[in-house]
Amino acid sequence: MFKTRITEMFDLKYPLIQGGMLWLSRAELVAAVSNAGGLGILSAATFLTREEFQKELKRVKTLTAKPFGVNIPLFPALKPLDIQGYIEAMGEEGVTVVETAGRNPAEYMPLFRERGIKVMHKVTAVRFAKKAQEIGCHAVVVDGFECAGHPGEEDVSSTVLLPAAVDAVDIPVVAAGGFADGRGLVAALALGAEGVLMGTRFMMSREAPMSDNLKEYLTTLTERDTMFVLRSLRNTARVIKNDVARKVAAMEGEGATIGDLIPLVTGSREKEVMETGDISRGLLHCGQAIGLIRDFPPAAEIMEEIMAEAAGAVARLSRSGKTP
Ligand SMILES: Cc1cc2nc3c(=O)[nH]c(=O)nc-3n(C[C@H](O)[C@H](O)[C@H](O)COP(=O)(O)O)c2cc1C
């Protein structure tokens, strides 16, 4: 059920993709998603050197023989990443899919092409989707306003952004931002997507290396418990509403510079939050879909449940479409 151009392109059983997540998308989670029939995506930026990254790629390969991808963020970084090194390592380890994000990957396209790596670029606006198609990307992920991480600056929700992008490009479009269950999958497919990429739902999986206490706390939150930070720097991020996020937003209101904000927003604090489970230590990227999530089972169970719920939703819709 639900064969699409994305399931064909990446050789998947299900049209489900786990989005790259800094600190969380490590070998165990990636392999669990791929083994269960979706596409797991390793976060390259979690590994600061090419050597560490390549070691993790080898680890994924010991855990799954299924296809998996790598996320390479091209956002402005304080410490430049060894993008070329990551790509060379991917080539050596036979990785065939990359998820790029943050900025147009045009300058890296020849390196991907030479290695036969398919490029799925994540965008937050229709014009960026068109650009991705123009430079030869194989698919686009459209990240709506609801998403964890960086939704862009234009605040268009998935229900509008997704079909607008589907109408604008011929390459397959993957829906992201606000999808966490089978109803969402069916809705995304109805809007023209050929797959769904989820971050927040997979952050709430057993294999995501984050404290169980924190996951437990997150099951109690609602769709109202996230907020934006860093809008003043045009680098908006959706995070859990906590004291650190409120402080960052207040400082931005008073004209804080990136230098003023770094001590609060630095990624190492998020790592500390994840490891200790103490949400007061920093920011935590999270989507509005957290309000739909009440548990953190193994990734395979999440995926089976989504597929069963989606089949149920389709059956319900087809029954209601028939005249009695
Ligand atoms: C904790 C966390 C960390 C993330 N880190 C990254 C990242 O490093 N690179 C990236 O492109 N997207 C990152 N994302 C965004 C996801 O890949 C995905 O685009 C987004 O979560 C989709 O929206 P959803 O959360 O509503 O499913 C992150 C998301 C979460 C929850």
Cα(320) to centroid of ligand 1, in Å? 35
pLDDT tier for residue 234 given thresholds of 50, 70 and 90: very high
Distance from the CA of 20 to the center of ligand 1, in angstroms?
6
Residues 104, 79 contacting (CB under 8 angstroms): no
Find the mean pLDDT for residues 72-88: 88
CA of 43 to the centre of ligand 1 (A): 10
Identify the burial level of 22 via C-beta atoms within 10 angstroms of its C-beta, where 0-12 means exposed, 13-18 middle and 19 or more buried.
Answer: middle
pLDDT in tens, 27-78: 999 999 999 999 999 999 999 999 999 999 999 999 999 999 999 999 877 6
DSSP 8-state class, residue 295: -
pTM given for the model? 0.98
Those residues with Cβ within 8 angstroms of residue 187's Cβ, 6 or more apart along the chain or in another chain: 159, 179
- Range(s) of the chain covered by CATH 3.20.20.70: 11-209+300-320
Furthest C-alpha separation in the chain: 65
Count CA atoms within 13 Å of residue 132 on its CB side.
Answer: 31
Range 11-209+300-320 classified under CATH 3.40.720.10 = no
Pairing of strands 196-198, 118-123: unpaired
Give pLDDT tens digits for 172-186. 999 999 999 999 999
Residues with CB under 6 A from ligand 1: 19-22, 24, 43, 45, 71, 73, 101, 122, 143, 146-149, 176-179, 198-201, 203, 285-287, 289
High-pLDDT (> 90) share of the chain, %: 96
Contact 199, 293 (CB under 8 A): no
Cβ neighbours of residue 207 closer than 8 Å, sequence gap 6 or more:
28, 29, 32, 298, 299
Q: Measured in angstroms, how far is the CA atom of residue 98 from the centroid of ligand 1?
A: 15
Pocket test for ligand 1, best of 158, 200, 296 (most atoms within 8 A of CB): 200
* Minimal-distance CA residue to ligand 1 atom 4: 21
